[in-house]
Structure 1
């Protein structure tokens, strides 16, 4: 799931959408994007506890009354900002092999957090999820969409006879990125290309051993 402050780009059902989360184009889309940017900047600058509707109004150019009417409250703004980020066109890597795809995915995840400026917004969103139930639901929905898109990696591998057709795609993809997120957000350790390859290779070995196969009914 650049120099812009955007929601997580790494490698995700959507929770019930709050008012203001419609997807028309034109002026409404521009308004929504301006509000999204203000929310992200506010999270980066002040964190979720200090973010206010007044801040979003000032930095988006949208009157506070309009924000309350369309988004309801600060959590509604936060949910919509992450929901909008999930409407991007990101697709998982396609290198021609399962090993290459998993390694590329791991490298993409790791590199997304190398630049402190680029990582500030997604990191702030993850922190907000620990303080707001609706933010946690929105973050879960964002990554659920990302993992759904990554199912294509496993489908291609099955078609190439690289994996058993009973492989749980979601479990495999989560196994690739989980060690990276552990270091990034729990133990606060650095991640690099070597760790990315290690995470991908460990998940690949487990998949080939059938660790992620879903149970099959007996005949």
Structure 2
């Protein structure tokens, strides 16, 4: 059976490659993805229109449909192109430091208007948000697949017991940041990140 998250991660890296300097095709892709990011930050996902993105990028909308197919795929590609990491997260050899690096990456994401727009529009899965969910379903599984390597490595080093669930631990690590920032409106301080990392490690070692 194919490892779908791994395949998605490979696709993310391939899409991110469109940001590299190259010929006209690469420049056109970069212009479109930049325009998508700008539109997301300005109007959010629901109000984003491919026609507006095409106009902002200076291309024909048929070019966008031909390359990306639909809005969810376009948004997923734009998200990927703006990510600093599309490879496994930092490996310091220390679980606590690895988690702090991961948490800082999550915090940096909240400073981006376009990521904020996506998060604030996300709610319970319903038929009305199929498009947004399609975009997120292209983004998060691959990102989680990369982030879970923090805990996989920790198990291999003997820092965590073999029975821990890496996917659950990724959610347990990032979840408090989303709640504190989105629901409570509180700042994500360095102390909060340190306490979160320490708590997750302590809990994982007792599991």
Unmatched runs of 5 consecutive residues or more in structure 2 = 1-5
1:103 aligns with 2:100: yes
User: For residue 192 of structure 1, what is the aligned residue in structure 2?
Assistant: 189
Length-normalised TM-score, structure 2: 0.76
Alpha-carbon distance change, 155 to 79 in structure 1, aligned in 2, over 3 angstroms: closer
Q: Are residues 1:124 and 2:105 paired? A: no
Per-residue deviation, 1:27: 3.1
Q: Could you tell which deviates more after superposition, 157-166 or 25-34? A: 25-34
Which shows bigger deviation, 67-76 or 180-189? Answer: 67-76
- SS for the counterpart of 1:50 is coil
1:50 lines up with 2:39 in the alignment: no
Give the number of equivalent residue pairs. Answer: 191
CA distance in 2, matches of 1:140, 1:59: 26
- Find the aligned partners of 2:104 and 2:76 in 1 and give their Cα distance: 27
Distance 1:178 1:57 in 2: 35
CA RMSD, 1 decimal: 3.1
User: Structure 1 regions of 5+ residues with no counterpart?
Assistant: 1-11, 211-219
Does structure 1 residue 155 correspond to structure 2 residue 158? Answer: no
What is the aligned partner in structure 2 of residue 77 from structure 1? 74
Check 1:160–1:78 CA distance in 2 against 1; reply closer, same or farther (3 A cut).
closer
Cα drift, residue 194 of structure 1: 1.0
* Residue 160 of structure 1: how far off its partner (Å): 2.3
Q: CA 1:38–1:133 in structure 2 vs 1: closer, same or farther (change >3 Å)? A: same
CA contact (8 A) 2:54 2:64 kept: yes
Distance 1:110 1:86 in 2: 13
1:42 CA displacement: 0.8
- Aligned residue number for residue 174 of structure 1: 171
- TM normalised by structure 1 equals 0.72
> Higher helix share goes to which structure?
2
